[in-house]
Structure 1
Amino acid sequence: MKLLAGNSNRPLAEAIAAYLDVPLARCSVKRFADMEIFVELQENVRGEDVFIVQSTSFPANDHLMELLILIDACRRSSARRITAVIPYFGYARQDRRTAGRTPISAKLVSNLITESGADRVLTLDLHAGQIQGFFDIPTDNLFAAPVLARDIKERMPEGERMVVSPDVGGVVRARALSKRLETTLAIVDKRRDRPGESEVMNIIGEVRGRSCILIDDIVDSGGTLCNAAEALLANGANEVSAYITHGVLSGGAVSRIANSKLKELVITDSIQPTEAVKVARNIRVVSIAPLLGEAISRTATESSVSSLFD
């Protein structure tokens, strides 16, 4: 096995390497003066099972190009099999046409990864499950739910907790976590007037006296979470925490969450946390390195990956 890493999330790649007890392969990812990306593999990968760890997070286009060029470098160096490990799959929110004359960018990115020479893809909590079908190569979509559920059980009293979906579209994800925690489920019904803004309308379910856990796959501007927390507290909830897989946290999101009524926002390190995230009073990061490391190990040994979630 050879484990390679781009520049998008080096700490996560190093943590995965430590879990697997495999050193990161020596690789140089540089930029020329005009910002063209240049990759040089500094050790032999001929006949090897190569795993490339690279989230396509901000700046998404740069990190996507790094991934494509890394894959091409491995293919041209005669790697036996190339697996793109993409903890956060950018462009996933563009998974369908929302209006006339618009693209389906998630499909385009899937095609680029496939055509660059990847043999399979390993990713985490895709925004829409059907994106797995956009790839014409085997794709494993892992779930952060076991990691998040373990953290919730360790920190929150069993009788008080209640899982809440911040919108109707996330009910399936919230129900799965609710089943793991053996607790009840509520839903925030909201209306979004324009991108990046949301208006909470009402709460479906009885949240009075409960410790509410908002669950979602992506937090970007943070507006939905903050509005949902206010609505839940207004309806009698004791406290509100949020567990989100991918902490995009663009613009003023960190400041917005730090000044909100959320007790805590818990995100994974699928996207490398910024300094602002690290010092925020109510944002905490849990690692998904063991989950990804175990999935990589099972892929390398041709063992079952789905049994990770039984």
Structure 2
Amino acid sequence: MERPKKQVLLFYCVEAEDLARKVAAQSDYIKLQTIKWRSFDDGFPNLFIEKAHAIRGQHVAFLASFSSTAVIFEQLSVIYALPMLFVASFTVVLPFFPTGSFERIEEEGDVATAFTLARMLSNTPISRGGPTSLVVYDIHALQERFYFSDTVLPLFETGIPLLQQRLQLLKSDKVIVAFPDDGAWKRFHKLLDNFPMVICNKVREGDKRIVRIKEGEPAGCHVVIVDDLVQSGGTLIECQKVLAAHGAKKVSAYVTHGVFPKKSWERFVHKSKEEHENAFTHFWITDSCPATVSAIANIAPFEVLSLAASIADALQI
């Protein structure tokens, strides 16, 4: 017997509006709600939750995007306010946990900002229905699930099913999956065990970090490099070079989070026929980083795989 679906009222930040509309389009049970994102003259937020009385007793969610420190404070203010409006349950969807790669303290004085952000989210007030649910996709370090206190219920999802669906369309190619390092292999190999695999690793030679193939044979295949996120893209480019040197017929890439600070995505754009032949055939990302999606729309080799259906499903859990 199928469980009855719940009606969810979905609020969203300005940056995530396109994704929120895609999520709502997935289900008649998800209704978009609005917030007035205003500022006082001094720059601090002047926020207003529309129809606050109407959300009492309702299942409420908020779609966040912490793309910069400038927008985190205003969104946390809303996240702290919504569960206090007598809602039946509260869910925060933060597709990309942005400080995830800053989780280690290697020497005294390092600040683990991933832990700081987890503590801030853990302070979300409890709603009438209990602790807040927090939905995150492909968090960078798996141990970060333990950074959250018992006042929130983290739900860790993955974008890999979107890649699986996309790879099924490459029927004419012999597809194998490559991982840029052991960390990516540990994270994703069980989700992609229906494909042959190549594992790379990075070794230091003087001041340089050289990518080498540790295991697997890419010759004659369409190799898809898989990782959780990309920043400058340097590691992916070095992987592409070594895979091509070992006979890969084509090389593509998938990352859940296309961060690409300082327009580093431009390194992957096909600027000429010669570059096209020696570059990434496809570069798949999800829409977890809305600013990147806006920047790379319809630019080869990029293709966006939307998390909308997955988020809609997560809101029914």
Q: Which residue of 2 aligns with 1:169?
A: 183
Distance in structure 2 (CA, Å) of the matches to 1:93 and 1:127:
6
- Give unpaired runs (5+ residues) of structure 1: 300-310
Higher mean alpha-carbon deviation, 236-245 vs 203-212, is at 203-212
Q: CA RMSD in A?
A: 2.2
Q: Which residue of 1 aligns with 2:248?
A: 237
Query: Structure 2 counterpart of 1:262, which letter?
Result: F
Query: Structure 2 counterpart of 1:201, which letter?
Result: R
Q: Which residue of 1 aligns with 2:139?
A: 126
Structure 2-normalised TM-score? 0.86
2:315 equivalent among 296, 299, 305: 296
* Cα deviations by residue, 1:236-283 (Å, 9 ceiling, x for unpaired): 110100011011011242211115611111001111134431142211
Q: Which residue of 1 aligns with 2:16?
A: 9
Q: Which residue of 2 aligns with 1:302?
A: none
Distance in structure 1 (CA, Å) of the matches to 2:195 and 2:143:
28
Distance in structure 1 (CA, Å) of the matches to 2:257 and 2:269:
17
Alignment of 1:1-310 (within 5 A): 1-21=8-28, 22-43=30-51, 44-57=54-67, 59=68, 61-117=69-125, 119-136=132-149, 137-157=152-172, 160-179=174-193, 182-191=194-203, 198-259=209-270, 261-272=279-290, 273-297=292-316, 299=317
- Give unpaired runs (5+ residues) of structure 2: 1-7, 127-131
3-state SS in 2 of match to 1:116: coil
3-state SS in 1 of match to 2:48: strand
- The alpha carbon displacement at 1:194 in A equals 11
Distance in structure 2 (CA, Å) of the matches to 1:41 and 1:271:
24
* Cα deviations by residue, 1:41-66 (Å, 9 ceiling, x for unpaired): 11132222211001222x2x133223
Structure 1-normalised TM-score? 0.87
Indicate conservation of the 8 Å contact 2:84/2:125, yes or no: no
- The alpha carbon displacement at 1:73 in A equals 2.0
Query: Structure 1 counterpart of 2:218, which letter?
Result: V
3-state SS in 2 of match to 1:29: strand
3-state SS in 1 of match to 2:66: coil
* Cα deviations by residue, 1:77-117 (Å, 9 ceiling, x for unpaired): 22232211111111111122133211221111111112132
Indicate conservation of the 8 Å contact 1:6/1:66, yes or no: no
Runs of 4+ in 1 over 4 A off after TM superposition: 192-195
Indicate conservation of the 8 Å contact 2:293/2:304, yes or no: no
3-state SS in 1 of match to 2:31: coil
Distance in structure 1 (CA, Å) of the matches to 2:206 and 2:122:
34
Indicate conservation of the 8 Å contact 2:198/2:213, yes or no: no
Quote the sequence identity (%).
25
Query: Structure 2 counterpart of 1:238, which letter?
Result: K
CA separation of 1:215 and 1:192: change in aligned 2, threshold 3 A: farther
CA separation of 1:209 and 1:203: change in aligned 2, threshold 3 A: farther
* Cα deviations by residue, 1:107-164 (Å, 9 ceiling, x for unpaired): 1111111213261211111111121111122111011111110111112446x11110
Indicate conservation of the 8 Å contact 1:51/1:83, yes or no: yes
- The alpha carbon displacement at 1:203 in A equals 4.5
3-state SS in 1 of match to 2:105: coil
Distance in structure 2 (CA, Å) of the matches to 1:35 and 1:164:
46
- The alpha carbon displacement at 1:19 in A equals 1.0
Distance in structure 1 (CA, Å) of the matches to 2:269 and 2:45:
36
Indicate conservation of the 8 Å contact 2:285/2:302, yes or no: yes
CA separation of 1:193 and 1:245: change in aligned 2, threshold 3 A: farther
Indicate conservation of the 8 Å contact 1:49/1:79, yes or no: yes
Give the total of aligned pairs: 292
3-state SS in 1 of match to 2:118: helix
